[in-house]
Amino acid sequence: MTDATGPATAGREHRLSLNELPEAPIADLTRALRPSLDEPHRYPDPHARELTEAVARTYAVPPTDVLVGPGSATLLQHVVQWAAPGRGEVLYARPSFDAYRLIVRSAGARPVEVPLRDHRHDLPRMLENITADTRVLIVCNPNNPTGTVVNAADLTAFLRAVPERVVVVLDEAYHEFADAESTADGRELYRDRPNLVVLRSFSKAYGLAGLRVGYALAHPDTAHTLRDRLLPFSVSTVAQAAALTALARRTDVLRYAAHIVAERERLAERLALRGWPVVPSGANFLWLPLGSASEAFAAEAARQGILVRAVHGEGVRVTVGTETANDALLRLTARRSPAEPAHDALPRPGHRLGPAKA
């Protein structure tokens, strides 16, 4: 991805370029965290045991299946370093979370990017691209930056077709914003699949992006292997306390997530009525497939104090913000004509693309 170009007015910009919440879903979180600051000279619980047990209770899974770490991206890094250490291929969609390439290359593995089809994971083509060198396969669901989802039936069939030697990572960072009836739930899928690791985050719906804490759900043998690779004390005392508070106040978290979803749908409806191409989303952002006009739109938005994210030649991702920020975006799009939608991009050098299926 690329950042928007052009200056925004300092202190007045609407930051819709990062997939963070515009407000904290827990009103008195600061007060709840004060006890965790009483002994900053002490190390945190090295294995976040209380938080591990709280996650297990919340999602009705055994504690042995839960791995807590300093953000789901760091947990992904451990998975890749374990499964593809200095060799092999890691397969994922393009465009998807832009940290994937960095994580794969830092492990010494080779990224293999399979283009989306109609802004969605092309699961048949991903299967065709599995080779003897494939070590890890990542599915971002809902996908960042397009917001599209894979349903339970399609994902289940896909997992059955993936060789057991390939570790599948299901990145569900935006799960709380998705429609439960139309989106697969990794919690229901991992238990009898030792090669499946489900990642979730406290950075998105739980509103703790600044504290870096996430967790993984995995078969107990896999979770044990990964836990042995994770450095102790990696989740701070404050982060553990915040995540515990967020789980205890999950009703408030889900209520605010529902508000974000309502704003997302309001934005999508207004943009579509004005002729702008909008992809249905299951996350806290929208994808505008503007093709070659993406960066120009992002630059124009920045000049108006609205920061968005452009993916070169493909589209623009807009995080759902406050009503004020969302209205500012709607005013901007009302003043100009919609850009042309993106066309299917050809694979770039280094990207393997197998034969398409109908």
Chain centre to alpha carbon of residue 201: 8
Q: Which residue do the tokens 């197998």 mark?
A: 354
Q: How many helices (H) and strands (E) does the chain have?
A: 11, 13
DSSP 340: P
Q: Residue 86 has what pLDDT?
A: 86
> Domain 2-24+251-334 adopts which CATH fold?
Aspartate Aminotransferase, domain 1 (3.90.1150)
pLDDT on residue 1: 44
- Contact call for residues 310 and 289 (beta carbons, < 8 A): no
Instruction: Give the per-residue pLDDT at 12.
Output: 67
Q: Which of 288, 285, 256 is nearest to 142 (CA)?
A: 285
pLDDT at 28: 87
Burial degree of 266 (CB within 10 A; 0-12, 13-18, 19+): middle
Listing DSSP states for 50-117 in one string gives HHHHHHHHHHT--GGGEEEES-HHHHHHHHHHHHSTTSSEEEEEESS-THHHHHHHHTT-EEEEEE-B
CA distances from 350 to 113, 221, 245, 346 (A): 8, 34, 45, 12
Cis peptide before 95 (omega within 30 of 0): yes
The pTM of this model reads 0.90
Strands 309-311 and 2-3, sheet pairing: antiparallel
Output the pLDDT for position 211.
Answer: 95
CA distance 222 to 194: 6
How high is the pLDDT of residue 338? 75
Domain ranges of the chain: 2-24+251-334, 31-248
Q: Name which CATH class applies to 31-248.
A: alpha beta
pLDDT means per 10 residues in the chain (358 residues)?
Answer: 44 88 92 89 95 97 97 96 93 97 96 97 98 98 98 96 98 96 94 96 96 97 94 95 96 97 98 95 97 94 96 96 97 79 39 38
Do 192 and 211 meet the contact criterion of CB atoms below 8 Å apart?
Answer: no
> Can 2-24+251-334 and 31-248 be said to share one CATH topology?
no
Tell me the HSE value of 146 on the side-chain side, using a 13 A CA sphere: 24
Q: By C-alpha distance, which of 50, 80, 46 is closest to 66?
A: 50
Q: Which residue has the tokens 């249905």?
A: 280
In DSSP notation, 201-224 reads ESSSTT--TTT--EEEEE-HHHHH
Nearest residue to 276 (alpha-carbon basis) of 315, 309, 241: 315
Asked if residues 246 and 207 have their Cβ atoms less than 8 Å apart, the reply is yes
Token pair belonging to 21: 């919440």
Using the structure block, give the residue that is written with the tokens 């619980």: 45
